[in-house]
Structure 1
Amino acid sequence: MSTLLHFSRTSPQEKRPVVVLLHGLFGDLNNLATIRRHLESEYDVLSVDLPDHGQSPHRDVFTLDGAVECLKATLDHANVAEATLLGHSLGGKIAMRFALNYPDMVNQLFVADIAPVPYSPRHQRVIAGLENVSLSTLSSRKQADEQLSEHINEPGVRQFLLKSLYQTEEGNWAWRFNLTGLKKSYGQISDWEDTDTTYNGKVLFIKGANSDYLQSSHREAISKYFPHAKAHIIDGAGHWLHAEKPQAFNAIVEKNLNKCN
């Protein structure tokens, strides 16, 4: 199976600094479209579908290090020797791991609302809702929404998930993400394997003030791996800070970007 990830790229022919965008669990490269559009006039922006997501290959087991190796192969294929990485949630974990494994390839790092620590399970309702959707008998997206709502109360969360629902050429309904594989690998997705490596480059952690994903108790772990890390809190934002407060998110990224890749 190919290790190359599906990606879109704005301007590979121009000698611009490269920014790589990595989305979160159950998403795809369009999740970070707002920051992509904001940066693409000055940067070569490469948006990636993570393994088991979007149009990237499905794998038997999802691991952070496996995703890092897929990203490495993809950047090599795209002739990207050095880039800024920006990752949200699971994408942030992969970005951090990539920077620790391949520091010479990372100009700087932006991590949106996630820490380099293990997390307790928090997607049980989402997985139950997704499994509750009867793809074989589904007649409409509205029906899928109704079935999701039996486990997921938040309309915004349901609409986010429904973006990955599509019909095949044969007219069958399917999820673009690998639900079975991601459920099987959820323990590894939530985990964080300790390592002695550090990334000494520029790192900015961006936290949504209303989110509990990044906490003061995570400072020790952040400092251990990223000794030069700084943090910024976006007021009025939760875990989906880039979607909830796009102007604030875009502004803080743009302000801190190092254009000297």
Structure 2
Amino acid sequence: MAIVKSFSVGNGDMCYIQHNSDNFSIIDCDISSENKERIISEVKEKSASKGITRFICTHPDDDHFGGIEHLDAAIGINNFYVVKNKAIKVNETNSFKYYCNLRDDLNKAFYIFKGCKRKWATYGDQERGGSGLDFLWPDTENSHFKSALLEAEIGLSYNNTSAVIRYSIQNGPSFLWIGDLETEFMENIFEDIDLKKTTIVFASHHGRASGKIPNSWLEKLDPQIIIIGEAPSRHLNYYTGYQTITQNRCGDITMECYGDKVHFYASNENYVSSHLTNEGGSSFPNYIGSITVETEYTL
């Protein structure tokens, strides 16, 4: 059994994966004084039994590494996965300075790119199994990505330096994180990224219309569920025609992966989903329903 959890952190992102191997992955963070105690205590508890803990930062925006200094103090970030960059900011927060220190620390940083391999992340060995992670983007030779890096290096924009990360479980569900990639950028790199059917997709840019996943991508991904993050409702795209879960309404989402089932739980005890089936999940409070994983195929 594996657990994927997306925290409700306001206009930011933070997920963790409690792998069904000796691995624990955190993808982005946005830790504030309001959520610091509950998030850090849970992450410490859930990662304590794992031999490998890694932090993956999709891109250098504060709402994706906010409070990283508190997380490092609590668990020690020794495996920092990051897109190689030289991003600058006019107004440097403490979290950005901390991010830069980790990013530039060759003893802790592992630079991710399309197709990169890393022991215990993308494959296992006799000591421990892999994590089921694949890094689909960036292609560091791609001209659109190079332009995005330049914008980050002059402090102009950071969204399109985002990594695309896929997590899959053999004979079970798969998940996709897209960071804050913008719609036009995704359209521009469509021919250069290997997309396949994916069970659960986290909408880019917290579900904002500016990061609406293009139809060309959605046809390849064919998601069963799209998770829309937190942002003012007037900025969101609700992906008509697709089944969605919106964190503005449900709060934290815990996804329990068991065989070909994904059981969903919400921190908002009043949240009700009309498109999930009742499979009797009981591992966590506030069960809201389940899905059966559809067979993956190649288009």
TM-score range, shorter chain: 0.3 to 0.5
Q: Which has the higher strand share?
A: 2
Q: TM-score, normalised by structure 1?
A: 0.38
Q: TM-score, normalised by structure 2?
A: 0.34
Q: Which has the higher helix share?
A: 1
